[in-house]
Chains A and B, each alone.
Chain A
């Protein structure tokens, strides 16, 4: 017996948009040339890559030569940190960045690069003043994520970028959770590097990109052939790149429409929780639409995730480890939640694939599970 699944972990990854799926099938079948080759097969592949570069550049109001294809958001992050910082430099980032930033820090330390970690405030946002206060003479780079992956909160990137620019410090933002969900305009926002990934916006996995503002310096992470203007060697993932381009175009052209749809889902979801008198609190202010870091008091988040999974609903809890276990988020405790509340917190993320019916099923399932758990809790206590 199989039940219809409702996948509500859009922040972790997205299913392929069917249109992109079709494109990938087509590219895999017909476009097999090496973009560096001289013949027509090579030319056809090159065209796919360059078309995609333009689509991505357009999506963030940048120039095509400012887009470098990588394998992932993680690679893009690594590339900036390791390609910009040198011995004796100072680096500022936040304590709630993605592991693809935080786990680079021990390596940076071994290279005699000093890091200052700025903490997010109780609303889950990095305060520009905290960044400014920590800038030193040798500060070379600041890296602050555009949207936090656990909370969905949007950071004041314009303000932070402006401070960096004024102080003549390079500024990178991990925009993996922002790209395709909110507007990103590199003409208006003073940012030097942006990390992006296709699989968060209904594109394929294993393809990412880095925006590098024209004129800024960067050393490659992967040396070899001259692909990507000598910045990222290896034969291009042509299919993935083609899919990424379409994903970027679809998500930006339909941004307003998608946002409206997701906000409608969001309001409906919260109304349904309220109608059932479910006690909850949402962590973080100024969030991207559809992403809830939400505490359900009186239930262990991990148990709620499993019980919803049994009912065909996929949500997430805490932060994932290599082994696949999860622990309560330490970040939430840092933000001021009690340890109990952090343990009772899950992440639910809705996207354009969801309909009102899906949201209703999720809200009602949560209601049922909470009722059982609270009764059990009372039985044990009694």
Chain B
């Protein structure tokens, strides 16, 4: 009997082709759409097919599965998603930080709840349509960047529990997005032309300010206008509330300065935004929390490459460890080292692990 594989089906083109590949590899595939949230909880357009968790997306997933004669189930993960991802998303903004909900979803929902589900259904593996690779070696499995450098999603996978790597398949790791679309077209998948969704799935209109206002109305109503101060602490303007800003932001400050100014610090306790020139944004170091290692036998200090934003270039850096606290020193100063965002560590194309940027200096 072939191994069972639980394939996460978002209803998009990537997961459709991932399923096809799993079927072609001879596995016994089971398509599962993880229902993560309800539109009436988060706002947005229920009938927009391009968003996962919409009725249209779920129906698309079902059609593709049916085409491949694969059973499809929509399973409810709304409770764990809300607790682990959505609540945290709101809390992070309230704390003046810029969260990365996709990372938390992968770490806590897709590679925790979903693997548990696989266990319960007797599935040996889970598979997703991420552009990344897992190399299964004797006794260990290694996460690597995908072949398509533009689409590579290894950055959002640093937090998955290391022991689940051996249970993970990424059928798209050696394909480019264009190749994936071509395969979908050839197979006449209903999902072949569905546009890329770049926004956060539960903020379908890409308006996180609207989302926060609706999701935590009381807390948001307490945050009013506040001061914008410059590097010397002098008040130079007024802002609409600190949650509206992220580190490195230039637009929407309502200031007319001869040289561009950027948000360099967010102080939630005083509802204060500090701005500065571009130089004030560059930092040499950061402290990292919640570190997750995907490889064994790391020793410190360690020279690695780091990535501090999705799709930003990797940079040489050194990790040091002191009393369980990890710090990273960049080879060159970096702009917008943003608390709340993920920092991911690589050795060439191998993902070593990652963590959350806590402080910069």
Q: Are the C-beta atoms of A323 and B58 separated by less than 8 Å?
A: yes
Q: Is A167 an interface residue (CB 8 A)?
A: no
B121–A323 CB distance below 8 A: no
Q: Tell me whether B71 is interfacial, beta carbon within 8 Å.
A: yes
Among residues of A, the one whose C-beta sits closest to the C-beta of B117 is A303
Measured CB to CB, the nearest residue on chain A to B28 is A310
Bitwise, A301-328 to B at CB < 8 A (1) or not (0) is 0110011011000000000001111110
CB-based contact A306/B73 at 8 Å = yes
Q: Nearest CB to that of B71 among chain A residues?
A: A309
Task: Scan B8-39; emit 1 where CB is below 8 A from any A CB, else 0.
Answer: 00000000000000000000001001010000
Residue from the list B71, B74, B119, B120 in contact with A323, Cβ < 8 A = B74
- Docked complex Cα distance between A307 and B4 (Å): 12
Contacting pair A310 B74 (CB below 8 A): no
Contact present for A303 and B55 (CB under 8 Å) = no
When distances are taken between beta carbons in the complex, the residues of chain B under 8 Å from A302 are: 75-76
B62 is an interface residue with CB less than 8 A from chain A? yes
Q: Please state if B35 and A303 are interface contacts (CB–CB under 8 Å).
A: no
With most chain A CB atoms within 10 A of its CB, the pick from B33, B35, B76, B119 is: B76
> Which of these, A306, A322, A326, contacts B121 with CB under 8 Å?
A306
A346 within 8 A of B: no
A20 is an interface residue with CB less than 8 A from chain B = no
The A interface is mostly helix, strand or loop, or mixed, namely: helix
Q: Which residue of A lies closest to B46 (CB)?
A: A322
Chain B residues, CB < 8 A from A309 = 71
CA distance A322 to B39 in the complex (A): 12
Question: Contact flags (1/0) for B59-97 with A, using CB distance below 8 Å?
Answer: 000100000000101111000000000000000000000
> Looking across the interface, which residue of chain B has its beta carbon closest to that of A320?
B74
A357 to B55, CA, bound (A): 38
A340 to chain B, nearest CB (A): 14
Which chain B residue has the least Cβ–Cβ distance from A302? B75
Q: How many residues of B contact A (CB 8 A)?
A: 16
State how many angstroms separate the Cβ of A102 from the closest Cβ of chain B.
16
- CB B60 to nearest CB in A, in angstroms, measures 12
Instruction: Please state if B71 and A326 are interface contacts (CB–CB under 8 Å).
Output: no
Say how far A300's CB is from chain B's closest CB, in angstroms.
7
Q: Are B76 and A327 in contact (CB under 8 A)?
A: yes
Q: Are B121 and A324 closer than 8 Å at their CB atoms?
A: no
When the two chains form the complex, which single residue of B53, B74, B75, B119 contacts A376, counting CB atoms closer than 8 Å? B119
| Contact status A310-B76, CB under 8 Å | no
* A325 and B121 form a contact (CB under 8 A): no
User: With the chains together, A300 CA to B121 CA distance in Å?
Assistant: 11
Contact B119 A325 (CB under 8 A): no
Set of chain B residues within 8 Å of A325, measured between Cβ atoms: 35, 74-76
Cα A376 to Cα B71 in complex, Å, equals: 24
Residue in A307, A324, A372, A376 whose Cβ sees the most chain B Cβ within 10 Å: A324
User: Are B75 and A323 in contact, CB atoms less than 8 angstroms apart?
Assistant: no
Contacts of B74 in A (CB 8 A): 323-325
Taking CB atoms and an 8 Å cut-off, the chain B residues in 107-151 that contact chain A are: 119-122
Contact B71 A324 (CB under 8 A): no
Kindly identify, within residues 324 to 345 of chain A, every residue whose CB is under 8 Å from any CB belonging to chain B: 324-327
CA distance A323 to B62 in the complex (A): 11
Of the candidates A300, A307, A323, A376, which one forms a contact with B55 in the assembled complex, judged by CB atoms under 8 Å apart? A323
Q: How far is the CA of A14 from the CA of B55 in the complex (A)?
A: 25
The contact of A322 among B55, B119, B120, B122, by CB within 8 Å, is B55
B69 closest partner in A (C-beta): A2
Residues B58 and A303 in contact, CB atoms below 8 Å apart: no
Cα A323 to Cα B76 in complex, Å, equals 10
What B residues does A323 contact at CB under 8 A? 35, 53, 55, 58, 74
Decide: A310 and B120 in contact? CB cutoff 8 A.
no
- Contact mask for chain A residues 280-311; partner B; CB cutoff 8 A; 1 contact, 0 none: 00000000000000000000101100110110
20 A–B contacts, CB within 8 A, in A order: A302-B75, A302-B76, A303-B121, A306-B73, A307-B121, A307-B122, A309-B71, A310-B30, A310-B71, A322-B55, A323-B35, A323-B53, A323-B55, A324-B62, A324-B73, A324-B74, A325-B75, A326-B76, A372-B122, A373-B120
Given contacts A323-B35, A323-B55, A325-B75, 12 further A-B contacts (CB under 8 A): A302-B76, A303-B120, A306-B73, A306-B121, A307-B121, A309-B71, A310-B30, A310-B121, A323-B53, A325-B74, A326-B76, A376-B119
